[in-house]
Amino acid sequence: MPQEIEIKLQVSPAAMRKVRQLDWLQSAPAKQAKLVSVYFDTPAHKLKDRGIALRVRHAGRKRIQTVKTAGDGGFARGEWESEVRTDLPDLAAAGDSPLAKLAGGKLQKKLKPVFETSVMRTAIPLRIGGSEVEIALDRGGIKSGRRRETVSEIEIELKSGDPAEIARLAERIAEAVPVRYEPRTKPERGYALANGAAPRAVHAAEVALDRAMTTGEAFRAIGFSCLNQLCANEPGVRAADSESVHQMRVGLRRLRAAMSVFKDLLQDSESQTVKAELKWLTEQLGPARDFDVFVRESVAPLTHTAAEMGVLQQDLEQRRDEGFHRAREAVDGERYRKLVLRVALWLASGIWTANADPLKRLPRERPVAEFASEVLSARLSKIVKKMKKLKKLDVHNRHKLRIAVKKLRYASEFFDSLFSGGKRGRRKLAAVLEELQDVLGTLNDFSVHRRLAGEFVHDGGHKDRRPEKAFAMGIVTGREQTRFETCMAAAMKAGGRISKRGRFWD
C-alpha cells in the first residue's frame, strides 16, 4: 500500500513568516502554487464513516484525484493518486485503493462536494543524508457553504528514506517558533466545519495493525492513535464538556497503558520524562471529571431525600466548575503545547526507536503478533490469579487490580486486528473485562467518596454549612456502603468468567 508519512504543525501567520526566513530554509529552492481541493462524499458521509477521504485537486491545468485512508495511527496514511479529466471524481481510476471496493454506478451518482480547501503552498524540497523530505508551508482556508476556517500549517513529508528525519526537522522548526502538533488532517477539519456542530467528545479509533509489523512499529501506530484521541478532545475540554474531558483522559490512559505494555522498548530517560509529563496532565484533568460524576451519579439522585443534599450538591458543583477551569487552563497552557509536540516527536523518532544496544533492539524488532500473544497471556493469567484473592484484597490492591484489568482491556483492543480468527472470543473477553472494570471502579469510588467525606466537609465551602454537608455526605456514603457487598459479588462473578472467555490470540 502506498503511504504518505508526515508530521503536521499548526502555526500562527506571524510565525509562518518567520519560518520562511530561517537561514537554513531561505537557501533551499522553493516552489509556490495555489492548490484548490474539493472533497466529495455521499449525503450520509459514507466515505468518512469508512475512514476514506476523496478529493479532486486543481493544480494548474491538471486535475489530480486522491484517495486517502487513516493508515498507521495518523503518522502514516494510505494514499492513491491518479489524474482525472474533469472536476468530478472518477471511481474507475481509484486503482487498488479501498474506495475501489465501494465503487459502482450508484456511489458515483451520490457523490457531492462537501467542502473545499484553498491554500497557497510553498514547497521546499530538502535532501538530508540519504533521505528526501518536503516541507510545505500552507496558508489559506477551508470553506463549507458559508462557514470558513483559516489554515496556517506546516506539513513535513517524507518522500524517501528515514522517517526519523521529519521528526528532527519538526523539532528544529519548533526551536525557532511556537508550533502545535496538529493531528487533524484537512479532511477531518473540513468535515467538522461542514457539520457545524458544537465540540463533541471523540472516542478512540480502531488501531489497524499488520502482522508484518515489528513490535516497535506497532507501538508507534498505537501511540499515535492514543495521542490523536487526546488532541481531538481539546475543543470539548475548552468548552467544559464533561464527556470530552473523560475521553481526553481515556486517550491519556490508553497511551500510558501502551507504554506499560511495551515497557521493554522504553527503558530510556526520554521515555521516563514523557511518562512523567503524561501523569501531570492526568492530574490536571482529574478533578473536573471526578466531581462531575460524583454529583451526577451519587448526589443528584438523592437531593429529594433531605434538604442538606442541596447544600452538598452546590459546593460539589463549585468544585467541579473549578476543575473544568483547571483543565481548560492546562490545555491552553505552554506546558501542554510542548508536551503534545514532545510526545509526537518521541513516537516518531525518540531514543527508543534507534537504540543500537541488542538488548533494546531485539525486542523492538520482534514480530508484533508473537509479542502480543505473550503479553496478553501473561496479563490474563495475572488477573485470574488475583481474582481468586479478591475478597482479601485491601483498597489499594483492589485499585491495582482494576488498573490491571483496564490495561488488559486496552491491550486486547490494541492487538485486536492481528488475530482475525477469533472475533467471537474477542467480543466475549471485551464484555467481561468491561464489566469487571466497571464494578471494580464502583468499589474504588466508594473508597474515594469515604475519603472525600472527611476532607471535603472540613476543608471546603462555608464553615457554617459543615453540619449540613456532613449529614449529606453521611447519606451518600451510607447508601454506597449498603451496595458494597452486591458490587463485590458482581466482581467475583465477572472474575470467574474471565478464564472461560476467549483467548482469541491462541
pLDDT reported for residue 409: 94
Work out the pLDDT band at 98, boundaries 50, 70, 90: confident
Question: Distance between CA atoms of 221 and 486, rounded to whole angstroms?
Answer: 40
Average pLDDT over residues 184-209: 88
Q: Is the pLDDT of residue 11 over 90?
A: yes
Q: Is the pLDDT of residue 462 over 60?
A: no
Q: Is the pLDDT of residue 449 over 80?
A: no
Render pLDDT for 383-424 as a digit per residue (tens, 0 to 9).
999 998 998 998 899 899 999 999 999 999 999 999 876 677
Render pLDDT for 142-180 as a digit per residue (tens, 0 to 9).
999 999 999 999 999 999 998 889 999 999 999 999 999
Render pLDDT for 43-69 as a digit per residue (tens, 0 to 9).
999 999 888 999 999 877 889 999 988
Render pLDDT for 310-359 as a digit per residue (tens, 0 to 9).
777 887 888 889 999 999 999 999 999 999 999 999 999 999 998 888 88
Work out the pLDDT band at 3, boundaries 50, 70, 90: low
Residue pair 496/387 in contact by the 8 Å Cβ criterion:
yes
Residue pair 228/254 in contact by the 8 Å Cβ criterion:
no
pLDDT reported for residue 291: 83
Q: Is the pLDDT of residue 301 over 80?
A: no
The stretches of 178-262 forming alpha helices (DSSP H) are: 186-195, 215-232, 234-238, 242-261
Average pLDDT over residues 463-482: 63
pLDDT reported for residue 198: 73
List beta partners, residue 152.
Answer: 139
Average pLDDT over residues 297-318: 75
* CATH architecture of the domain with range 3-197: Beta Barrel (2.40)
Exposure b/e, 260-283, CB count within 10 A at least 16 = b: bbbeebbebeebeebeebbeebee
Angle at alpha carbon of residue 162, lines to 157 and 166, rounded to 5°: 35
Domain residue limits, the chain: 3-197, 289-319+366-498
Q: Is the pLDDT of residue 479 over 80?
A: no
Average pLDDT over residues 208-230: 95
List all residues 6 or more positions away from 267 whose beta carbon is below 8 Å from its beta carbon.
Answer: 360
Work out the pLDDT band at 269, boundaries 50, 70, 90: very high
pLDDT reported for residue 454: 62
Question: Distance between CA atoms of 216 and 338, rounded to whole angstroms?
Answer: 24
Q: What is the DSSP string of 79-134?
A: EEEEEESSSS--GGG-TTSHHHHH-SHHHHHH-EEEEEEEEEEEEEEEEETTEEEE
The stretches of 56-163 forming alpha helices (DSSP H) are: 98-102, 105-110
pLDDT averaged over the chain?
87
Residue pair 504/426 in contact by the 8 Å Cβ criterion:
yes
Q: What are the Cα distances from residue 335, in Å, to 11, 278, 340, 362?
A: 16, 11, 9, 34
Average pLDDT over residues 267-296: 91
pLDDT reported for residue 74: 56
Residue 86 is given by DSSP the state: S
Average pLDDT over residues 477-484: 68
Across 14-23, 98-107, 188-197, least confident range: 98-107
pLDDT reported for residue 137: 97
Residue pair 87/56 in contact by the 8 Å Cβ criterion:
yes
Average pLDDT over residues 288-297: 81
Question: Distance between CA atoms of 292 and 309, rounded to whole angstroms?
Answer: 15
The stretches of 121-205 forming alpha helices (DSSP H) are: 164-176, 186-195
Q: Is the pLDDT of residue 292 over 70?
A: yes
Work out the pLDDT band at 444, boundaries 50, 70, 90: confident
Percent of the chain with pLDDT over 90: 57
